[in-house]
Structure 1
Amino acid sequence: MITKSFKEWDSEEIEKTFGITRLWNTMPELNELLDLTGINTPQNEKYEELREWLYLNADAWNKDELKMFFIDPLLSMIKFYHLPYYKAFTQRTMRIKTDTVDSKGEVEFFVGVGFGFL
């Protein structure tokens, strides 16, 4: 049995152990949200401002600065709280336990989908 914290896993190990593959360009709603061409609204102006801010500063920001100056403002523009369908969580301890893996750690942010939140 593999026993280690989330911090000890890398993406290649996760894919191999759990038989999953990262999917690219498979979220049409997100792609539509980020496609700003030809649309001029206050919200899209904020998206563009955040995109430029990230482009100018990403290589200089540490983890906390990235969260504070980019991720938090971006996430605050999206309604991640719609019970019973989905809900956002931050700084939560999670555990994954299967027949072959026992791993736990603190997750910075995730969106839970389903009916188990009531």
Structure 2
Amino acid sequence: MFNYDFLLHTWSLAVEIQFYIIVPVLTMLLSIPFVGKILWSFFFAASLYYNIVAVGPLQFSSLPSRIWQFICGGLANILPKGFKNTPLLVAGLFSLSPIVFVLPLHTTFLRLTCTLGAAAVIYLGNE
């Protein structure tokens, strides 16, 4: 009990605050049609790569290793909603099941599947 870090959960708030301060500025700078898409793709790929190669606290709680997750959520929200795809929703919910069952999977794989599953649920839940 004395070794418990009561403020451990605040790392996510710090990452979110940093992201929401930086993104409006980036969005304005990256709104150039062709260049913006290339740079957003670069940020996504670089962040995902950093998340895979970083170890320890940097992989878990730093903004550079989490940007790709925010981009996935943002894309899921802004992509056109032209169809109802029940299999995609089921696949999204199924990919979230490792959280419920606490399967002993590698954390990078778990983050990837859970992020893509959550993005699918966000995408289809907005219809």
**Structure with higher strand content:** 1
TM over 0.5: no
**Larger Rg over CA atoms:** 1
Which structure carries more relative contact order (alpha carbon 8 Å, separation 6+)? Answer: 1
Question: Which TM class, normalised by the smaller chain length?
Answer: under 0.3
**Structure with higher helix content:** 2
TM-score (norm. length: structure 2): 0.26
